[in-house]
Amino acid sequence: MPQPYPWFERTYTFDVPAEKYPDILERLRGTPARVEELVRDLPDETLRRRDGDTWSILENIGHLIDLEELFTGRLDDFLAGDAHLRAADVTNQKTHDADHNSRDAAELLADFRRTRMELISRLEALDTAGFAMCAHHPRLDQPMRLVDSCIFHADHDDYHLARISQLIRHFAEQPVSA
């Protein structure tokens, strides 16, 4: 099954005006609802099912929660005036260790909504000048403004939403054999 364009191969040109930050915040705010809509009618078996060694739907959702900590830390970096943003663990060890498949789906979705709304609340307290703050992104090896970081985070959400959609379609075509 084809997967979304690989995350680590994506490149960015950050040229969106900082004044457009309200639009980007709406993308970030809407992700929990979009995830809930995708998975609300799925049986537990489908939510926990893996396609080979790739993450299950619940593990993809859990990964979004895990990354909220990184983004919140990067927001702290911007607000502190740091020249460099903290690095991500590109091995995603936190997600691998978290055992999101053992969690209740409703609890996982509620946790994602709660952590995302906490982030949105912090971001909404900023003005255009706040979204124009700049720091160096370690993996991309380029400067980015807070508005760019929000776009990057929203794109990461979309990447995992696309993956969840692919898994749903794949599992519908490949039912579990009895």
Domain boundaries of the chain, sorted by first residue: 15-173
Under the banding of pLDDT at 50, 70 and 90, the label for residue 6 is: low
Identify which has the larger pLDDT, 170 or 176. 170
pLDDT value at residue 177: 60
User: For the residues 125-142, what does the mean pLDDT come to?
Assistant: 96
Q: Are 157 and 27 in contact (CB under 8 A)?
A: yes
Other residues' Cβ atoms within 10 Å of the Cβ of residue 112: 19
How does pLDDT run across 53-109, given as a tens digit for each residue?
A: 999 999 999 999 999 999 999 999 999 999 999 999 989 899 999 999 999 999 999
Which amino acid type is present at position 112? F
The residues pairing with 134 across neighbouring beta strands, listed in sequence order, are 145
Fold assignment, 15-173 = Four Helix Bundle (Hemerythrin (Met), subunit A) (1.20.120)
Q: Please say if the pLDDT value at position 8 is more than 90.
A: no
Which amino acid type is present at position 1? M
Q: Please say if the pLDDT value at position 178 is more than 70.
A: no
Beta strand spans in the chain (E) = 134-137, 142-145
pLDDT value at residue 20: 97
Q: Are 103 and 58 in contact (CB under 8 A)?
A: yes
Q: What is the rounded CA–CA span in Å between residue 178 and residue 171?
A: 14
How does pLDDT run across 22-33, given as a tens digit for each residue?
A: 999 999 999 999
The pTM score is: 0.92
Q: What is the rounded CA–CA span in Å between residue 143 and residue 89?
A: 19
Phi–psi pair at 104, nearest 5 degrees: -70, 135
| 65 membership: H or E segment, kind and range | helix 57-80
Other residues' Cβ atoms within 10 Å of the Cβ of residue 18: 18
DSSP state of 101: G
Mean pLDDT score of the chain: 93
pLDDT value at residue 149: 97
Q: What is the rounded CA–CA span in Å between residue 162 and residue 47?
A: 15
